[in-house]
């Protein structure tokens, strides 16, 4: 399941893993903004940024294969979107349609890979702490922290329900499976509600005051 991507980090601690999360976050944001703001057709700037990214991937020790695999699936979608958007862009008059499409795809790839690298070298907890210190509202950060914690729990719950459903039903006609699947979602929704209530009571009992405390 996609959730595996959440567990995939922090084990292979390299030099970039140990850097302060705030600087990594700011660097990634600055990099993405620089990439996006680069005018179409400025291949030299994009090349420099790409070189920087490659250097970063090399130092961080992120698996190039998994990055490229993730990118390849995504690039197809972006290309389609670029083909749809590019004919209307004013820059087309200067550079021609092909260059515009290629620049959009290249710029997107750089930004996309940067975000993946950031996620690979920074744990979600560190990233949230960094956001908090950089001024993102406390409620939002706490909610995101809570959400990540219970993503796994609800994911497991969903897997159990799906196993139970498969164990009890013989065939999957399309109409039948729509009703079964929505029933499953509805059940998961009810259980999430109840779980939120129970967890909240438990948190209150332990002196919850609206923030997660951290040792870093």
Q: How far is CA 87 from the centre of its chain?
A: 30
Site for other proteins in 114-153 (CB under 8 A): 115-116, 118-119, 124, 127, 137, 139-140, 142-151, 153
Q: Which is nearer to other proteins, 20 or 148 (CB)?
A: 148
89 binds other proteins (CB under 8 A): yes
Q: How many helices (H) and strands (E) does the chain have?
A: 9, 0
Return d(Cα 53, Cα 140) in angstroms, integer: 30
34 binds other proteins (CB under 8 A): no
Binding mask 43-62 for other proteins (x = CB under 8 A): --------------------
Which among 59, 58, 75 has a CA at the least distance from the CA of 110?
A: 75
Return d(Cα 92, Cα 105) in angstroms, integer: 15
Phi, psi of 42 (to 5 degrees): -85, 75
Q: Which is nearer to other proteins, 170 or 210 (CB)?
A: 210
CB of 130 to other proteins, least distance (A): 11
CB of 59 to other proteins, least distance (A): 20
Return d(Cα 40, Cα 46) in angstroms, integer: 9
Q: Which is nearer to other proteins, 13 or 33 (CB)?
A: 33
215 binds other proteins (CB under 8 A): no
């Amino acid at each position: 399941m996609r959730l595996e991507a959440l567990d995939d980090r922090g084990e292979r601690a390299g030099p970039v893993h140990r850097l302060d999360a705030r600087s990594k976050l700011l660097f990634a944001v600055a990099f993405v903004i620089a990439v996006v703001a680069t005018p179409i057709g400025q291949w030299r700037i994009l090349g420099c940024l790409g070189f920087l990214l490659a250097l970063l991937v090399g130092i961080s020790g992120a698996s190039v294969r998994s990055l490229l695999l993730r990118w390849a699936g995504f690039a197809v979608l972006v290309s389609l979107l670029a083909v749809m958007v590019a004919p209307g862009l004013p820059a087309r008059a200067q550079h021609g349609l092909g260059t515009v499409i290629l620049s959009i795809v290249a710029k997107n790839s750089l930004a996309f890979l940067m975000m993946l690298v950031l996620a690979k070298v920074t744990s979600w907890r560190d990233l949230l702490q960094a956001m908090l210190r950089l001024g993102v509202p406390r409620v939002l950060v706490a909610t995101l922290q809570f959400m990540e914690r219970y993503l796994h729990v609800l994911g497991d719950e969903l897997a159990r329900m799906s196993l139970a459903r498969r164990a009890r039903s013989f065939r999957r006609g399309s109409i039948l499976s729509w009703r079964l699947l929505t029933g499953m979602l509805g059940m998961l929704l009810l259980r999430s509600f109840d779980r939120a209530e129970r967890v909240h009571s438990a948190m209150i009992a332990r002196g919850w005051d609206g923030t997660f405390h951290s040792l870093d």
